[in-house]
Structure 1
């Protein structure tokens, strides 16, 4: 646990701290993963396990010395919403709880830093594999976490190569997806859970991720930061950049599309808008 004096608010130090917090949370999550998992339903019907709350608690403890507010999924579910201001962390301690329960390894720890409604730094860590993706003003990077330690950072960039590959959710489908694939001449679907969808785009493994079903800000903030740092873009269906701080809407996101570049995102957003009428 971190008990040091308050840290400098520089982005480099915050990214390092967020990565350490994610690694600590991953250890707690894997402890739970290694034994029978008991899940209950939250008010919105989504599942939650003991790993969710335990991971969020350890992340908040790591981030507390910064003095920066933390918007956490489990805290919000408990009615605890801090005064956010213009700069705050957004945390999803266990994104892909359904994947966690299924034991397919496709779940992540997400930590982002938002400034003026935009995620400027993000960490996405998959505890089961050790795959980690980070992004900030210095670019996007892939690394492997093993034995609680972060490995060497490897720069990653999006790829706009055609024919297009689309990332579809393993747990959330939509009838409009087939129409969109036809319109964009998509060659292949790549199905993966949680915020790893953004990371596949950031690494160039796919080019487009359309979202026709609801998400909350903690589901997307870290992934958006990584993808944008890698050269990608995330737009709502009206062509605007996906933004944060929508407390009056319960922190719900509108439908959006993530893509390898801005031009593709704009094209896909127009098609999604047309398909949905």
Structure 2
């Protein structure tokens, strides 16, 4: 059955994305159990055997839908389909540096974008099995280590003070300390990959500012989960972060993810001022 004609938030597509992510996670864990060999891409970022193998599994699962797929490894190989209004965005192994470090903080990301907006997202951490899902029905999390998503329950943002910020373990910026002082941040939590969005989505933190480069496949699934949980992701002009930037090689501008739109826009304005 061709699901390309179904609504973007149809539960069949969400279920399919979850199954694809679980299958990719199993491939990733197989590579993770062996000595890891990494090489550098043209942009200097690392890639392992797990990246390509996981993307191949995901593409196989998504192919019957007929919906175009923007995949990180496919793009690196020069394969960019005609995306149109609606397409999947796939990062088969987000946090390759964390994968190489073996700290478990890497994820499988699958999102569905329509008219520039991520309307569905799945973020799965293969080592722990933690799985986060967001679509029109809301956001929820569960565990898929058994090969099936079980124990899923609704999650939502928490906007209560004191303010907690999510900082990247593998990336940073000198302006981050100044931003924390300006916004009176009480504490911070450091985690790799798109798990940063998920910490906000389940209320563990309220703010994730990004001062360093990302691509659409790094953020689409996490943004979908966070926004389904009640949060917001805006660029430094205060507007919602959009997708389909093929003319910019699918690079994102700097952005702020937060537990609510007001906080996101306030932090974005502060970031814009700090960066001049």
Calculate the TM-score normalised by the size of structure 1. Answer: 0.98
The CA distance in 1 between the partners of 2:229 and 2:160, in whole Å, is: 15
Once the two structures are TM-superposed, the CA of residue 26 in structure 1 deviates from its matched residue by: 0.1
The answer on whether the counterparts of 1:9 and 1:66 sit within 8 Å (CA) in structure 2 is no
Partner residue of 2:48? 49
> Does the residue aligned with 2:127 lie in a helix, a strand or coil?
coil
Task: Give the distance between the partners of 2:28 and 2:191, measured in 1 at CA.
Answer: 19
- Unmatched tracts of structure 1, length 5 or more: none
Shift of 1:172: 0.1
Aligned twin of 2:181: 182
Contact 2:111 2:221 in 1 (8 A): yes
1:163 maps to 162
Partners of 1:246 and 1:155 in 2: CA distance: 32
Cα shift at 1:128: 0.4
* Per-residue CA distance 1:6-44 (angstroms, 9 max, x = gap): 346342100000000000000000000000000000000
Q: Secondary structure at the match of 1:24?
A: helix
Q: 1:68: how far off?
A: 0.1
Matched, 1:125 2:110: no
Query: Is residue 111 from structure 1 mapped to residue 110 from structure 2 by the alignment?
Result: yes
TM superposition shift of 1:153: 1.7
What is the alpha-carbon distance in structure 1 between the residues aligned to residue 162 and residue 267 of structure 2? 14
- The Cα shift of 1:267 comes to 0.5
How far did 1:237 drift? 0.3
Aligned residue number for residue 243 of structure 2: 244
1:48 offset after TM fit, Å?
0.1
Aligned to 2:229: 230
Q: Report if the CA contact (8 A) 2:166-2:208 is conserved.
A: yes
Q: Residues of 2 paired with 1:244 and 1:39: CA distance?
A: 29
- Matching of residue 152 in structure 1 with residue 151 in structure 2: yes
Tell me the distance in 2 between the aligned counterparts of 1:171 and 1:55: 22
| Partner of residue 76, structure 1 | 75
Q: Give SS of 2:36's match.
A: coil
Kindly state the Cα deviation for residue 174 of structure 1 after the two structures are TM-superposed. Answer: 0.5
* Distance in structure 1 (CA, Å) of the matches to 2:151 and 2:210: 32
- TM-score, length-normalised on structure 2? 0.98
Aligned to 2:59, the other structure's residue is in SS state helix
Contact in 2 for aligned 1:25/1:109 (Cα 8 Å) = yes
What is the RMSD computed on CA atoms of the aligned residues?
A: 0.7
Tell me if structure 2 keeps the 8 A contact 1:164–1:207: yes
How far, CA to CA, are the matches of 1:145 and 1:153 in structure 2? 9
SS of the residue corresponding to residue 20 of structure 1 reads helix
- The residue aligned with 2:6 is 9
Q: Secondary structure at the match of 1:149?
A: coil
The reply on whether 1:102 has 2:98 as its aligned counterpart is: no
Question: By how many angstroms is 1:163 displaced?
Answer: 1.1
Cα deviation, residue 235, structure 1: 0.4
Q: How many residues align?
A: 273
Q: How many angstroms does 1:146 deviate by?
A: 2.4
Match of 2:60 in 1: 61
